[in-house]
Amino acid sequence: MVEGKKFYRSSGGYYYKKKANGDKVRISKEEYLKGKGISGYKKKSGSPKKKSGSPKKNKSRAGYSKDKCRSHLSDKIGTNMKDFEKGKWQSRKQALAVSYSQVNTTHPQCERYFPKPN
């Protein structure tokens, strides 16, 4: 902490104001910047405005067909069945369930073909 400064920032990223008696009080970033005389800072408030027009589609996600998702699943099942034989999974059913979950996690666009059971 440098003497003579009224406002300072700690190494942890918190902002403090030094009182006349030597005590310190934690303050907001806005108050810190105001006290430092830094202008032009605006706090973001509210929700972002929606853009008009149709939403853009991500072409890389749209290209997944059912065959490609089945291919990912069969590869993952093969890997997990080998792990089952090595003792990683307790049962074949567990290895199969984990395979579905892993494919849905790594390829979220395949979830429509392999939905989670309710």
pLDDT at 84 over 90: yes
Instruction: Single out the residue of 53, 66, 55, 45 nearest to residue 111, CA to CA.
Output: 66
Q: Which of 2-6, 7-11, 97-101 has the lowest mean pLDDT?
A: 2-6
Closest CA to 108 of 61, 57, 70, 67: 61
Burial class (CB in 10 A: 0-12, 13-18, 19+), 95: buried
Name the pTM for this structure. 0.46
Mean pLDDT within 79-94:
92
The tokens for 98 are: 């984990």
For residue 33, pLDDT over 70 is answered with yes
Say which residue the tokens 């395979």 belong to: 99
Inter-residue contact 15 to 26 (CB < 8 Å):
yes
Beta bridge partners of 16: 8, 26
